[in-house]
Structure 1
Amino acid sequence: MHTIKKVFFITSLFFIAGCSTPPQTYYLDATNGNDTNSGLSADNAWKTLERVKKTSLQKGDKILLKRGEVFNGILDITGKGTYTHPIIIDAYGEGNQKPCIAGNDTSMYAVRIFNSDYFTIQNLEISNTGKERKAGRTGLKVECTNYGISHNIRINNLTIRDVNGSLVKEEGGGSGILIVNGGDSIRSRFDSLTIENCHILRCERNAMIWSGYYDRKNWYPNKHTIVRNNVIEKVPGDGIVPIGCDSTLIEYNLMCDSPDILPMTEAAAGIWPWSCDNTIIQYNEVWGHKAPWDAQGFDSDYNCQNTLIQYNYSHDNYGGMVLICNSGNAGDYSCGNIGSIVRYNISIGDGIRPKETRQGMFSPSIHIAGPVKQTLVERNIIHANLKPSDIVDRTMITSDSWDGYADSTCFRQNIYYAAEPSRFDFTSSTRNAFEENIYIGQFKNLPESPKNKKAENFYTEKVLKESADGYKGLHCLMDSIKVKEHTLHYIKPEAIKAFFQSIF
């Protein structure tokens, strides 16, 4: 009697709240389930993903997949939850092994979330491996097209692995996660999309990338995106690339150990925005990037305004620490690259590209390309170790042409250490300002002549005496956390600020 009253009371509450029926929880079991079952309990679970397609999800509904099971095929799903009653895709059962959704040979995606609101997908594994590489193949596709605003999509604790897309960007590439927004009849975008605690492993070409409105004449950016606490491992191309976004926060992510398998035509880098405003990239680590061109840890790319790159750690990449670039021939869809700030980052042992690329042996620690404007590079530490061979580039900064040259760039209180003779090359860039930078080593074309013996002695005592390669000494300025059983290093703001205050 009490149970009946309780069910009646709960049901009544949902009717009062505007729900036609109480939320349902549906179970899937690939081994013991049956699509003729009700799906409403673990003992009456459905068997296949096809059965989910026939279900119209209501606010508050859950789809639970049994741990340790493999569900072959495609999960293509739409759900409109609310702030208090989100729709959730999750795991159930004993053990730690995530349920796996495995795409078929021809699938462009294994999971798609389409035109949804207040939707969480978490604690699953997704793979999408075909017999051959397929251009545009992805693991998870999140799409908002001719819909309006899609609110609060959360992607949490997914393992996305073994997606064999194309290695060539112009063919369409491939990705672990693809975020798409657009539409001709109804302009559409995401608001408060979050990607966190995910592990993206062996995905080709890229880890996570967006596709949206990039034209400034038709600007409708995604808002308030958060990408945090993710590990990107053994991905050869781009790591995290928001496109057509405003106010994106990218923090506490690790990209590591990229395989050297991209064709020689390809450029890629770790974490970078394109056609974005007000992006913050902080507390991240990128190491072992091996793209034939670029291969920096971080990048502020063109059609971007007010990109902030701070407290990041870049090391042992074929390219340098950072690229700041703008195409002078992009046309009126682009605003250029304005107001980038790169501060309090540390680079150790970057710029070790062992083979020729588009411009020969080219891998400066900082590359400024094209007519970027009003850039500030401040209080970074560039520690360039001995290069692996005599032919490797040893340039600290190159500021060169991409249909134009940089203007109004300020380099303030940075530390440049070179274990062997290095150089600076500002080519035809204009109105470069240099303020109190520290140069330790031998350099050609120094932009400033004064030597700061106090700073040199301080750096020798605090860093070089600990270890000539810089790792031990500079790690004292870092903190670390565990992310997906990996160790992520990032710069401690209070430590690096105190370090510079001791010098200046």
Structure 2
Amino acid sequence: MFRKTVLILFSLFVFLPSLAPSGWLPSANAAGSTYYVDCKATTAGNGTSTSPFNQLASINGVTLTPGDTVLFKRGSACNGTFAPIGSGSASSPIGIAAYGTGTARPVIHANGQEDAVRLRNIQYVHVQDLELTASGDNTTARRGVHVLGQDAGDLYGITLSNLYIHDVRGYMPSTVSGNYHGTGKYANASGGIVLQVLGTTVPTAFHDVRIVNNLISSVDRQGIYVWSNYCQRTQLAEFWGSLCSGAWKPMTDLIVRGNTLNDIGGDGIAPMTVEGALVESNTLAGFNVRSNSYNAGMWTANSNAVTFQLNDTSGGKTTLDGMAYDVDHSTSNVVFQYNYSHGNEGGFFLLCPQGRGKPVNFTIRYNISVNDRARMFQSCSGEVEGQIYNNTMYIGSGLSPVIYEENTSQPQTVRFRNNLVYKEGSGNVTWSLNDPTFVLDRNVLIGVPVPVGATNTITTDPWLVQAGSAATDGYKLFAGSAALGSGAVIAGNGGRDYFGNPVSAGSSPNIGAFGGPGLLPAVAAPLAHYRFDETTGSTAADSAGTAAAALKNGPVWDPAGRLAGSLKLDGTDDYVSAPVGISAGAGDFTAAGWVKLGVSAGTSQTILQQEGTSGRTWLYRETATGQLGTFLGGSALLGSGTIPTGAWTHVAVVHRAGVVTLYVNGSSSGSAGRTIEAQTAPFRIGAHKSPTSANPNWNGQTDDFRFYSSALNSAQIYQLAHP
């Protein structure tokens, strides 16, 4: 239909470029009329191209018929409500769009009215290429587009596309007396685009609705909202009963796709009482900004078989919900898949049953969460039943969310499988989970306590490509990851992962949102590399070409090292002075090398320290326990890995985006957030700059030390430790 219509319109408008509308228009059959509106025109016209209407009242008085087109002039602005009357047909919808030169959309300011555009009890209408505002004081309803069905039966064929809707100031709980949580939603909702069914006498529903490629910015309360008064059914949560005027009559064939929303007062995209709806490829940045009530990014309630996929949600405010996504009450067969969530104060997901309105058979799979805050998952007061599998959750330094917060004594019949949860840096994550029916199986938990009853849990580093990255490619897996092929086979898995890789129906999948083959890590180029393979002399060559290191006070060359040659240090005064030139406080870095302890001494023995007044001990061994530690940032971090006496051990420290991580023999040993002082002085390999009996120098051997002005990933560190 799209291609055919464009070709028809091209033939009509090719010789009239100043009148040609941009984008798609409905059928231009011979029976249809075209009406022109230019609110900048100084005289009232008759709606032709040479004598356009100059006010909304004129076009509102025309009864439109199938195939008609209404065109608003670019560069013009109208005040009031555009409320067309008359319907199109399936083969000849009514088109509403723009004409004229330039790219600026025609503007309609509601100018004190509730709606900029109102489509009431009409069908087969396509609206595009307009800019809409609805200013106000947030004490009454306001909408950019209001699609309203009221005692009209079944209505079909509404398309809203390429609209720019902004500065809609409708009422919210925070702006009216009483702070009722439902102000601005349910019936008579406010927001950017509101599709709602009211009335009490004739059951009504919309079908075949498309809301696509719109920009919605700074609106109150809702971004895109769908509501119906015909919502009563047996499984409905009790508190909604008074909101319904008739039996459940869902809207069907609703698609919300490719929209960009930001600075939303309340909920982002929230379709209620729908069946088979698809919400995909939308971007939402900033929601629950002003409502001071419970709102989520994208969610549904009292609906069946709704799919949310390929969406990006961030910037949710407050912990009054504030999650990116929500499977709410009275729903069945809701699927959230291939979505990205990041930086939401309330967290990742809400599961919110109410009374008898439990969510049934929901599926949450192959999603990625990065630095969501209060909760990864929270369950409200009621029973839930569904699956949570193959999601990847990264929790950065300073964050202490609850992984699953159970706020009910009702059964949590949830299977939590094949998920990867990676905690890095400071902060402590917890579980608030007591239900024995909650199944945890084959999950990777890093820096996360393993709940009682969990089975087949993996706690070794999964080798994420770039943990902490804002780009989702950072949550793929390197070859050799323990998460590869370690998951449970799950029936009906959707057939693909977050990244579009196929997922087998019969073979053991990966754990996490990445289902493809492991990637080979890039070979990192060191800033300095001291092999210690010389057999004579007082300098150690830098094979990276930065600067040779000086041997101080007589270290002894030893041809028997870990890789080839090595240096023996006596623990008294000899060391290697390496002028590497890394600025410790300026960004990411890595230092790695081999050590072999000969004699244990003091409280701690220095492996690597930077000189200068603010130079810190990068690596040391805690004598009592053998643990590898670092003093970067001015406080001790002791890892779980240990350095024995008399055996070669690979040690490394990595600083990435404010987080310091220790590695022993290629495995992550501990991490913490650190603010590191700036320092560019040389390094001492095997010595403290002011050694004491409590903090003596290294007594043993050292080999193959490397320095990088970047943060190596886990797989790259593993490669260094397993040459």
State the TM-score, normalized to the length of structure 1: 0.82
C-alpha distance in 2 between matches for 1:250 and 1:260: 22
Describe the superposition over 1:3-48 as per-residue Cα deviations: whole angstroms up to 9, x where unpaired.
xxxxxxxxxxxxxxxxx9921100011112533x22122x210100
C-alpha distance in 2 between matches for 1:206 and 1:430: 38
Question: What code does the residue aligned with 1:437 have?
Answer: N
Q: Is the aligned partner of 1:397 residue 2:439? A: no
Deviation at 1:219, TM superposition (A): 1.1
Question: What code does the residue aligned with 1:471 have?
Answer: A
The counterpart of 1:298, out of the listed 307, 312, 325, is: 325
C-alpha distance in 2 between matches for 1:85 and 1:386: 57
| 1:410-449 paired onto structure 2 within 5 Å | 410-419=415-424, 420-427=427-434, 429-443=435-449, 445-448=451-454
Distance 1:226 1:282, change over 3 A: same
Q: Percent identity?
A: 26
In structure 1, the partner of 2:130 is 124
In structure 2, the partner of 1:201 is 217
C-alpha distance in 1 between matches for 2:431 and 2:157: 46
Describe the superposition over 1:290-338 as per-residue Cα deviations: whole angstroms up to 9, x where unpaired.
144111111110011110000000000001111112012x6xxx4x211
| Contact preservation (8 Å) 1:236, 1:290 | no
Distance 1:250 1:32, change over 3 A: same
Q: Is the aligned partner of 1:23 residue 2:50? A: no
Describe the superposition over 1:88-135 as per-residue Cα deviations: whole angstroms up to 9, x where unpaired.
111000001000100122x121110011121101000110002x2123
C-alpha distance in 2 between matches for 1:347 and 1:425: 19
Deviation at 1:369, TM superposition (A): 2.2
Question: What code does the residue aligned with 2:367 have?
Answer: N
Distance 1:406 1:371, change over 3 A: farther
Matched residue SS, 1:51: helix
| 1:129-168 paired onto structure 2 within 5 Å | 129-130=135-136, 132-168=137-173
The counterpart of 2:184, out of the listed 149, 169, 172, is: 172
C-alpha distance in 2 between matches for 1:451 and 1:86: 56
The counterpart of 1:326, out of the listed 353, 358, 362, is: 353
Q: Is the aligned partner of 1:288 residue 2:288? A: no
| Contact preservation (8 Å) 2:196, 2:226 | yes
Distance 1:472 1:85, change over 3 A: closer
In structure 2, the partner of 1:471 is 470
The counterpart of 1:39, out of the listed 44, 47, 52, is: 47
Higher helix share: 1
Deviation at 1:67, TM superposition (A): 0.5
Describe the superposition over 1:142-168 as per-residue Cα deviations: whole angstroms up to 9, x where unpaired.
011111111110011111100111231
C-alpha distance in 1 between matches for 2:367 and 2:120: 38
Distance 1:298 1:114, change over 3 A: same
Deviation at 1:475, TM superposition (A): 4.1
In structure 1, the partner of 2:251 is 222
| Contact preservation (8 Å) 1:269, 1:291 | no
| 1:18-417 paired onto structure 2 within 5 Å | 22-32=31-41, 34-35=43-44, 37-41=45-49, 43-105=50-112, 107-130=113-136, 132-168=137-173, 169-172=181-184, 174-212=190-228, 213-216=230-233, 218-258=247-287, 260-263=289-292, 266-328=293-355, 334=357, 336-351=358-373, 363-387=374-398, 393-401=400-408, 404-417=409-422
Deviation at 1:449, TM superposition (A): 5.9
| Contact preservation (8 Å) 2:226, 2:270 | yes
* Contiguous gaps of at least 5 residues in structure 1: 1-19, 352-362, 479-489
Matched residue SS, 2:59: helix
Distance 1:138 1:430, change over 3 A: farther
Question: What code does the residue aligned with 2:46 have?
Answer: S
Deviation at 1:257, TM superposition (A): 3.0
Deviation at 1:72, TM superposition (A): 0.6
Question: What code does the residue aligned with 1:436 have?
Answer: R
| Contact preservation (8 Å) 2:168, 2:192 | yes
C-alpha distance in 2 between matches for 1:70 and 1:470: 44
C-alpha distance in 2 between matches for 1:282 and 1:406: 27
| Contact preservation (8 Å) 1:423, 1:446 | no
Deviation at 1:443, TM superposition (A): 1.7
| Contact preservation (8 Å) 2:40, 2:76 | yes
| Contact preservation (8 Å) 2:87, 2:123 | yes
Distance 1:202 1:61, change over 3 A: same
Describe the superposition over 1:357-406 as per-residue Cα deviations: whole angstroms up to 9, x where unpaired.
xxxxxx21111223333210001011111236xxxx421111222xx523
| Contact preservation (8 Å) 1:477, 1:495 | no
Question: What code does the residue aligned with 1:70 have?
Answer: A
C-alpha distance in 2 between matches for 1:33 and 1:446: 76
In structure 2, the partner of 1:11 is none
Question: What code does the residue aligned with 1:235 have?
Answer: I
| Contact preservation (8 Å) 1:175, 1:205 | yes
Question: What code does the residue aligned with 2:43 have?
Answer: N
Distance 1:259 1:178, change over 3 A: closer
C-alpha distance in 1 between matches for 2:120 and 2:194: 12
| Contact preservation (8 Å) 1:313, 1:491 | no
In structure 1, the partner of 2:529 is none
Matched residue SS, 2:160: strand
C-alpha distance in 2 between matches for 1:493 and 1:399: 32
C-alpha distance in 1 between matches for 2:472 and 2:167: 37
| Contact preservation (8 Å) 2:421, 2:448 | no
Deviation at 1:139, TM superposition (A): 1.5
The counterpart of 2:499, out of the listed 479, 484, 492, is: 492
Distance 1:261 1:184, change over 3 A: closer
Matched residue SS, 1:23: coil
Distance 1:159 1:418, change over 3 A: same
Deviation at 1:82, TM superposition (A): 1.1
Deviation at 1:260, TM superposition (A): 3.9
> Aligned residues, how many?
439
C-alpha distance in 2 between matches for 1:373 and 1:387: 31
C-alpha distance in 2 between matches for 1:267 and 1:57: 41
Distance 1:380 1:102, change over 3 A: same
Describe the superposition over 1:441-499 as per-residue Cα deviations: whole angstroms up to 9, x where unpaired.
1426454265425xx33x2x333xx34x2435744659xxxxxxxxxxx9323178763
Query: Bigger relative contact order, structure 1 or 2, given CA contacts below 8 A and separation 6+?
Result: 1
In structure 2, the partner of 1:10 is none
| Contact preservation (8 Å) 2:165, 2:215 | yes
Question: What code does the residue aligned with 2:212 have?
Answer: E
Deviation at 1:423, TM superposition (A): 1.3
| Contact preservation (8 Å) 2:464, 2:475 | no
Superposed CA RMSD in Å reads 2.5
In structure 2, the partner of 1:481 is none
